[in-house]
Structure formats: C-alpha cells, structure tokens
A and B are shown apart, each in its own frame.
Chain A
Amino acid sequence: MSLESAATLAAPVSRPNALPKMTGENVGVFYGAKQALFDVNLKIEQFNVTSLIGPSGCGKSTFLRSLNRMNDTIDGCRVTGKINLDEDDIYDPSIDVVELRARVGMVFQKPNPFPKSIYENVAYGPKIHGIARNKADLDEIVHSSLRRAGLWNEVKDRLQEPGTGLSGGQQQRLCIARAIATKPEVLLMDEPCSALDPIATAVIEELIDELRENFTIVIVTHSMQQAARVSQKTAFFHLGKLIEEGKTEDIFTNPKNKQTQDYITGRIG
C-alpha cells in the first residue's frame, strides 16, 4: 500500500469551521540542561484528530505530554513558551494540574489498566472528580463510557472481573473508556496501538474516528499509514522542531518541506 493510497483512506475530511481548542506558542521543553523541543507553534483544532509523526526522539511525545503537564512528573523537566486550552494558559500558576488533567485526558502507549475490576477502572475518574452524584449516576457513566469505547458488549457480563484479565486490545479500549469517563475535552493518545495486533489496531482506529464526534484528539503515532487513516491534521517533528503541519492529505500527498518528504517516503527515520 503506497502512502498516497493510504492518505485517501482518511475518509472524514477536516471540519471546515474547526476552532482551535489548544494552541502552543513557542513551546520549548528542557530535560535538565538538554533541550528536547524548540519553539513549537501548533494549533489543535476542536473535534479533529491531529496526529504527531516523526522519527524516534523527535519530541512528538514530549510535546503531547506537555499538553496535560504529564512532564511535570519528570524530575528536571521545564517547559517554556505558552500552551492554551481555550483561553486558559495551562502553565499559569492559577491552573490546578488535577483539573487540567480531568479536562485533557490521556491514553498511554502500553495498556495500563489498574489491577482492579473493569467497573472500578472506569469508575475511578468520575469518583475522584465527583462527577457522579450517586451510584445510579456512576453506573450510567461506566456503561456509557464502555459503550462509547466499543467494549460494552464484550465485558457487560463480567464488570467485576479484573481489568488486567482482558486481551491487549480490550485493555487499551478499557483505558480509553477510563479516559473518557471523566468527560475530558481533549484526549491525548501516545502511540495507543503500538502494543496491539493489526485487528485490535483496526478496532481502535475505528473508535478514534467515532470519538472525534465529542472529543478533540491528539495522537502520536509511528505508523504513517495510521496517521493517514485516522487524522485530519498532521504535524511532522524532527530533532525537536516542528517541521511542517497541515491537513493530513496535504502532508502525505504534497509535502512542502524536503525533510517531510524524506520521512514519509522512508528516507529518514
């Protein structure tokens, strides 16, 4: 499958009236003295899927993790520049990181369900954020989250069984259900399919497309075919710099930058 034909698979086109949900201005990230990200300016459009591509170590995951301040947990990590969620500067001291992460959810590379029941996994977020007023509310949130993650039919009879007992693909969908249960506005996905087989990957990709109805999604992926299939916007990173960004079909069919072209045709990376 050539890249051009992969790009044409991206059936849903970018929404014409897409608003910027998150904007990064001159974002730089340092790990100690080492700078990992340089002056990134990127707009994340609402209800679109933005994919971040690039070779290993290019800073795409670093940028993703700075969008919900997961970088805070790394010792010696420092972010410069400005990242806005709607109107709020998320690095402003007045912003509580707990609230930010409730608004900007995250799905990780390796499925990481809690070693608790499937129900508990999904219910944990709503519980700690006080989203559910009572048990019935909570049940409803768990059910709808699992349904939207496409997992409901597979687990409805074993909600009390441990989430770690599911298959890899099911675990990842459980993690997605857990992330959307807190009703975030933005969903960050860090190579969500890299640990999954092709069939599970296809299920997740389909799911991402459905989730776009309600969530703004940013996805880091190593697979250019995947970027082409699921995203409307693509940003290409190389050596800590944002090289090119634009509509996915433009990036894959008509890249303006030489480095982008080299990457998508497999010459670097």
Chain B
Amino acid sequence: MTDAALPHATVATAASARRDFGLRRRHAAEFRFRLYGIVAIIIGLGFLAILLVSIFSKGYTAFVQTAITVPVEFSASIIDKDNERATNPRVLVSANYPIIARNAVAKALGVSTDDKAAMRDIAKFVSDGSRSTLREIVVADPSVIGTTRNVTLLAAADIDSANKGQIDLTVPQDKRKVSDQQVAWLDQLKQEGAISTPFNWGLLTFGASSRPETAGLGVALVGSLYMMAIVLLCALPIGVAASIYLEEFAKKNRFTDFIEVNINNLAAVPSIVFGLLGLAVFINFFGMPRSAPIVGGLVLTLMTLPTIIIATRAALRSVPPSIRSAALGIGASKMQMVFDHVLPLATPGILTGTIIGLARALGETAPLLLIGMVAFVADRPTTPLDPATALPVQIYMWANEAERAFVERTSGAIIVLLLFLALMNLAAILLRRRFERRW
C-alpha cells in the first residue's frame, strides 16, 4: 500500500511544482504593466490639468470687463457748437465725444474741468472706446443732445486691470501705469456704486484694436466660421466621393496604389506647406484676395481632405462584406449597393472623421499666416472675400502684445477656442452614438 502510494505522491508534488512554475513572476509582470499604464495616465492627466488650470486661471478674468456708469451730459456746445446738425448730419459723427466722456467722469469725481493735469489722468481713466459708445447713442437718437442721461462707459485697460487686482500697488508710482490718484478715483467711484463688471460681450464681438478693452474675437470668429463652412462644403463632398470611388469602384492596381500612398503622404505634409501652396496657387495664380477666409478655407480644405478620405475609407471598409453581397445578391447595382446600404452604415465613421478634420482645421495657424490672415482687421467681414483673421491667429497676435490686459485676453481667446473644439468633439461623439448600428 505504502509502496504504491509513495511514487504516486512524488508524481503529484512534481506536477504541482511544475504548475506553479513562473506563476508569481507572471503575476508580477502583469501588475507592473498595469502600474505603468496607470502612471502614464496620471502623467497625461496631470499635464492636462496644469494646462487647463494655467489657462483658466489667467483667462477667466477676460470674460468680465470693468465699466463705469456715470451721468453724461450731451452738451450741445461740444457736440454741435454751430447748430448745423439739421443740414449736416456728419457733425454728429465727427464730434469730440472723448471730451464729453471725460467731463462726465470728472463731474462724477468732483474734479474741476479746469485742472489740466487731473483731466489728463481722467482721459486715461476712460477707454477710447467711449467715443463710439457715445457716438452710437447720439447718431441713433439726436434728441439726446442737450440732455443728461446715465451711460455705461468702458474703463481703460489699465484701470480694468487695477480693478481686477492685477496691478501691484507696492511698486513705486512712476514705475506702474496706474497712478495713486487713479486708484483713489477708482475707489471713490466704487463707493458711489458707479463701477460694475458685466460680462465682456466685447470679447466675442469687437474686431481688432490696439486698446485691449475694445479688442475682441468678433472678426476672428466670423473668419473661422466662414472657413469652417468652406471646408465642410468643399472637403466633405470631394472627400466622400473620392473615397467611395477608390474603395468601391476603382480596380486595385498600381495606379490606385500610387494614389493611396500619396493620400497617406498628404496627410503627413506639414500644414505650412499647404499655406505656401495656397499662396502660390490661390493668391498669386488665381488672384484671389489676400487675408480672405475664402483662401484660408480652400487651403484648409486641401489640408483636411486626406484626413476625411482616410477616415471615410476606413468607415467604408468596416461595413461587413456580407451587406454588400446581400445587396448584390438580390440584384442591386453597385451604385444602389453603395448608396442604399454601405454609405448609411459608414455615415457615423464619416461624420466623426469629418468633425475631427474640421477641429484640426479650426486650430490650424501656420498656413493662415502665409496667406496673410495675420492682419489688423477691425471690421467684421460680411462675405468670405473680405479680410478677416481666425481664432488661432488672433491668439498668436495677442500673445505678442505686452499689456497685462492682452495677456488675459490671450488666455480668454484660448478658452473660447478650446470650448469650440470641445463642442465639436462632443458633436462627433453624439453623432457616432446616434447613428451607430450593430449587426
């Protein structure tokens, strides 16, 4: 009995020892691998958090703007001293509105308008943008002349910064842009409740300006919008048509292989090269206007096409061949097969690829610099042929400015751009969910 049991036992231990072999090592390897993954994710999230925190902490103040609400006397002796507005309405446009604004603030502060030195400081207290604010009021309704009414004027950028606590008051007065007198006035107006910080709509509507408080993304937003529309209208149909032809109709031969290699190469071409191409072809050869969204849109179309074609071909390829056989098997023509069955199933992939391509185009700067979209454009473009800038280019331009108020606006513009990108990616995810089908 024992004779028989003994060899059996040795075999069992040998077998179990063999089964144990390396198990601990393999588990350790798996644990280590998981750890690497988690560490990688934490590093990635950490950098994302640093990026977002730095941008948002610098940029959120750009979304409010200090404003001064004071009673403004629309004095006829300043606006229209010769009383000729009935015959010559141009006097209302060219009147000296800054003086009116200055006088209004001086009155609110109790400063005599004869104090020249104080009046110079007050002139720097109110934004030059008050000129157009007051002009619009008078031109829209000339009957205000000779009356007094409360008007909200933008504070000058330095006063705005001081109000937001961004200016270090411990620095000697002659080394900072805001004088002690101005700070005192600011406090005085605050006491009187004349200072407010409303949402800065100007950031989203104004055009380019050398004064931060009247500089905004209006032109850039319209320019980017036009370009996105052009990219969508050009790149989507061309890209989808090319992909369908290559994927479903073209014979696989050397020529189509050559085209495929080239499309993949085009996707990797640096965007600045597309900018040079646009400059040479669209502007120099076809004579299209410089700085115009139409040229920018076409350049970005060229840049986005490979992305859309690659995404569309992948989406078409992911439609199971059995669907194609099913359609052909009941006598559908190739055209009917593609448009009735394959394309609808590929739509989510195509849309996702298109939106991701568009998002990339929205953030593209380099090619736009080459076609002259880095320009000082104050008026919003009405057509894609008018000069405009684009969101990333505007960020680039503001980043070159030294003033404190432009620093916060740069971050503010980045937040706006990131918001649009996040919205587009969200749209891509939602569309994919909406159209996704299982088979």
Contacts and interface: CB of A to CB of B under 8 A. Distances in A.
Nearest to A181: B330
A125 B439 contact: no
A115 B322 CA distance: 11
B323 interface: yes
Contacts of B7: none
A181 B330 CA distance: 9
Interface string B328-371: 11111100100011000100000000000000000000000000
A124 B330 contact: yes
B329 A102 contact: no
B323 A114 contact: yes
B26 interface: no
Given A115-B437, A164-B439, A125 B331 contact: yes
B112 to A, nearest CB: 82
A105 interface: yes
B132 to A, nearest CB: 58
Given A115-B439, A128-B336, A164-B439, A70 B322 contact: no
B251 interface: yes
Contact of B331 (A73, A101, A164): A101
Contact of B329 (A68, A128, A181): A68
Given A108-B322, A114-B326, A129-B331, A75 B336 contact: no
- Chain B CB count within 10 A is highest, among A115, A129, A164, for A115
Contact of B325 (A98, A112, A182): A112
A106 B323 contact: no
Contacts of B328: 70, 73, 101
Given A75-B252, A114-B341, A105 B325 contact: no
Contact of B322 (A68, A110, A179): A110
B175 interface: no
Main secondary structure of the interface of A (DSSP, over half): helix
A108 B345 contact: no
B438 interface: yes
Contacts of B345: 115
Nearest to A73: B328
Interface in B225-242: none
B252 A182 contact: no
B437 A125 contact: no
A178 interface: yes
B437 A112 contact: no
Interface string A108-119: 101011110000
Given A100-B331, A114-B327, 10 more contacts: A98-B332, A102-B330, A106-B329, A108-B322, A112-B323, A112-B326, A128-B332, A164-B438, A178-B326, A179-B329
15 contacts: A68-B329, A75-B251, A101-B328, A105-B330, A106-B329, A112-B320, A114-B323, A114-B326, A114-B341, A124-B332, A124-B340, A128-B332, A128-B336, A178-B330, A179-B330
